[in-house]
A and B are shown apart, each in its own frame.
Chain A
Amino acid sequence: MTAPPAAFWASAAFWGLAAVAVACGVAVFVVDSMARATFALLASLIAVGLSLLLIDLEYLGLVVILMMIMEMLVMAVFMIMYMMNPAGLMPMKMVHNNRGAALIAGTVFVLLASGVFLVPWPERTGTTPADPAHALGLSIMGPKMLVMMIVGVAILATMVSTTVLATDRGRRRGKGP
């Protein structure tokens, strides 16, 4: 008996994480409690972030985890603000066209999945850089600078417009309470 190679453990970890990600994703729309739904989504996002760690994307995987925890916690606040039954104490369902949606989603999955196996994916070219985060940094500050600039402007625009939309004073009412 020899110990299984590292590739086996990586593969096992990936499938475990994938199962968690999808199961938690489904749980988001199954559980009654909004708090549970939010944290199921968070678990799904974290599982994907961890799976990125398996393919050398250490920095991005951790950034995904970091941002998603904060994002989901903010989301929880709004969920509870706007849902009529946040704690799920009275089981209820708020869906429309459930059957059609499930059908469309199922069809899309079958189409995409068959695409995954039928499309001849290109061969791997090049090797992973020693520090992927460094490569990413050089890229967005060099050839991909346009992406970074657009993202920056988009963030600024979002900050301004969310503040305008969300403050009580509104767009036209001017100053004063």
Chain B
Amino acid sequence: MGEATPLWAPIALLGALCALGLAAAVLDAVLSGLPTASHPGDAVESPLRSGPLSAAGDPFREAARLLVQQRRRTSLADTLLVRVGVCGLLVVAVLAGVVLPLGDRPVADLAAGVVWFNAMEVGAWGALWLTGWGANSVYPLVGGYRFLAQGMAYELPHMFALITAALGAGSLRVGDVVAAQRGLWFAVWMPVAFAVYLVSALAMAFWGPMRGPVGPDIAGGVRAELSGPDRLLFQAGRHLLLAVVAAAAVPLFLGGGAGPLLPPWLWTSLKTAAVLALLVWSGRGLPTVRMDRFMWLSWLVLIPAALAQLLVVAVVVG
């Protein structure tokens, strides 16, 4: 593993991810508080809406409410599986972030870092399905199955986008991918891969138009029966997942910490915040895409486009 990782690195990663997740929640609340946005999607989550400024406090109020709320139980629930699922979502998000450099080097500089990131975030499949299954209730189960269908659609284009970045660098190590972008960001000369990555990022965090698995049409889907601290953990995991996918776009496509004047860690944070804001903003106002339509789009448009991009990169690099 090379030289030892400083002790503060994991703590810094955790802190950065939590801050980003919270920022995403606040931004989402503020956007939903704006008078122009009339999306009913997350209305359940912020009942105290009255203007954007007051809405900024909604996530904190909601968290405090959930912390003291008493748990609601369903009959014959598989509590063990629900717990594994709810905590798993949080755990895979943090583990996926382990290979992302905050500044110069990541917490764990793995030789197959890109594969590690991919393997960890696929864990969200398991987490969501377990949460949906364990409650022994209809709507969460429907939500769990919806996420599997969505996963089938987004995972292949997502993998191709990741592989394209790795191919451009000729290495699976995230640090090498960053180093390969000294001259030109991958987002500039692999725009298709970057776009595919962003779409799959939304789908992975079941955010915005891909919120089907937790959609209001099935009463909150996977999280319908979650209450109290369980629900808080699940929401935190979802926001952390969105944060970590946004953060991964920076070393993979946006040149990592490279930039004039400012230190690398600040550039990384700024770029991550920009991607995160883009993802959160794009989620507002767009209608929910049904899984089968997304599957159609994914297999007939995204995968061929990603493959063509892969071919172009292979020709340029080779």
Chain A in direct contact with chain B (Cβ < 8 angstroms) = yes
Range class of the B interface residue count: 20 to 34
Judging by beta carbons under 8 Å apart, are B111 and A131 in contact? Answer: yes
Nearest CB of B to A69, in Å: 5
Judging by beta carbons under 8 Å apart, are B111 and A133 in contact? Answer: yes
Interface hit among A70-78, A97-105, A107-115, A119-127? A70-78
Given contacts A33-B78, A87-B78, contact A73 B118 (CB under 8 A): no
Q: Given the complex of chains A and B, what is the CA–CA distance between A74 and B118 in angstroms?
A: 17
Nearest CB of A to B85, in Å: 10
Q: Which residues of A contact B136 (CB under 8 A)?
A: 87
Q: Cβ of A39 < 8 Å from any Cβ of B?
A: yes
Chain A, Cβ-Cβ closest to B149: A77
Q: Cβ of B115 < 8 Å from any Cβ of A?
A: yes
Q: Given the complex of chains A and B, what is the CA–CA distance between A141 and B125 in angstroms?
A: 32
> Which of A59, A73, A77 is B115 in contact with, Cβ under 8 Å?
A59
Judging by beta carbons under 8 Å apart, are A58 and B130 in contact? Answer: no
Q: A110-147 CB contact bits vs B (8 Å, 1 = yes)?
A: 00000000000000000000010100000000000000
Q: Is the interface of A mostly helix, strand, loop or mixed?
A: helix
Q: Which residues of B contact A76 (CB under 8 A)?
A: 129, 133
Q: Which residues of A contact B126 (CB under 8 A)?
A: 39, 42, 69, 72-73
Judging by beta carbons under 8 Å apart, are B122 and A66 in contact? Answer: yes
Q: Cβ of B18 < 8 Å from any Cβ of A?
A: no
Judging by beta carbons under 8 Å apart, are A133 and B172 in contact? Answer: yes
Nearest CB of B to A129, in Å: 11
A-B contact pairs, 16 of them (CB 8 A): A36-B78, A39-B81, A39-B84, A42-B126, A58-B110, A59-B112, A59-B115, A62-B116, A62-B119, A63-B119, A69-B119, A70-B151, A72-B126, A73-B126, A131-B111, A133-B112
